[in-house]
Amino acid sequence: EVQLVQSGAEVKKPGESLTISCRGSGYSFSSYWIGWVRQMPGKGLEWMGIIYPGDSDTRYSASFQGQVTISADTSISTAYLHWTTLKASDTAMYYCTRHPSGTLHPYHIDLWGRGTTVTVSS
């Protein structure tokens, strides 16, 4: 089955670091872009950034540049979203997404993970 399997819910304190993961299965992980989307409670969808695991080409939204790091390990078909210093405002659901690839350009999202809930509270 083609799917994106995300890591479990996290509860952290402000100032802590965190890495959440997204493992692709049932397809060629290196041949599709993997992106991350934030959804704050009761709000809409915000695109954070994207990586092409085949060559590690990574692009960020200006809103999230410097706030998070996106990476991928093709040997285990897994992408990561990392925070060095969490804030309470990082409390949200985070979805990983799969995008078919054009020439150096990701297309629409054709597959979503089920999401990882991150709660940051003192």
Q: Are 114 and 122 in contact (CB under 8 A)?
A: no
88 to 117: interface string for other proteins, x by CB under 8 A: -------x---x-----xxxxxxxxxxx--
The pair of structure tokens assigned to 87 is 């804030």
The pair of structure tokens assigned to 61 is 């939204």
Smaller CB separation from other proteins, 81 or 99: 99
In the set 60, 83, 90, 120, which binds other proteins (CB under 8 A)? 60
If binding means CB under 8 A, how many residues of this protein chain bind other proteins? 25
Stretch that binds other proteins, among 20-28, 46-54, 69-77, 79-87 (CB under 8 A): 46-54
CA 5/CA 103 separation, integer angstroms: 26
Strand-pair category, 10-12 with 116-120: parallel
Smaller CB separation from other proteins, 24 or 106: 106
CA 23/CA 27 separation, integer angstroms: 11
Q: Are 91 and 101 in contact (CB under 8 A)?
A: no
Minimum distance, C-beta of residue 27 to other proteins, in the bound complex (Å): 15
Smaller CB separation from other proteins, 13 or 68: 68
CA 100/CA 52 separation, integer angstroms: 10
Instruction: Give the binding site for other proteins (CB under 8 A).
Output: 35, 44-47, 49-50, 59-63, 95, 99, 105-115
